[in-house]
């Protein structure tokens, strides 16, 4: 019985280590995404948009959905 407790502890330790690695990877990937999105904004000429307004635009678009937002702002 003592062996299974040790095994459970080892598994928990390993899980926590993996979680820490994943957290670090998430931070790195979020930074890469931010750089990519920043480049898109600059390419579109959106670097002059106030950050608070940009946040509102993106939040509203995510709430409506991208397709619905595109239909509303650029009707066919």
Same domain, 67 and 33: no
Same domain, 4 and 22: yes
Which residue range is the domain that position 62 belongs to? 48-76
Same domain, 25 and 55: no
Same domain, 39 and 52: no
Same domain, 1 and 37: yes
Domain count within the chain: 2
How high is the pLDDT of residue 15?
Answer: 97
Angle (deg, nearest 10), helices 51-64 and 66-73: 110
Integer Cα distance of 74 and 51 in angstroms: 23
Condensed to tens digits (0 to 9), the pLDDT of residues 31-48 reads: 999 999 999 999 999 999
DSSP string covering 41-72, please?
HHHTTGGGS-HHHHHHHHHHHHHH-HHHHHHH
| pTM score, whole prediction | 0.69
Same domain, 38 and 53: no
């Amino acid at each position: 019985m003592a062996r299974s407790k040790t095994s459970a502890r080892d598994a928990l330790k390993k899980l926590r280590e993996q979680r820490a690695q994943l957290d670090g990877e998430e931070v790195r990937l979020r930074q890469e995404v931010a750089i990519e999105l920043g480049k898109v904004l600059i390419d579109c000429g959106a670097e002059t948009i106030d950050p608070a307004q940009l946040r509102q635009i993106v939040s509203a678009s995510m709430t409506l959905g991208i397709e619905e937002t595109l239909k509303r702002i650029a009707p066919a």
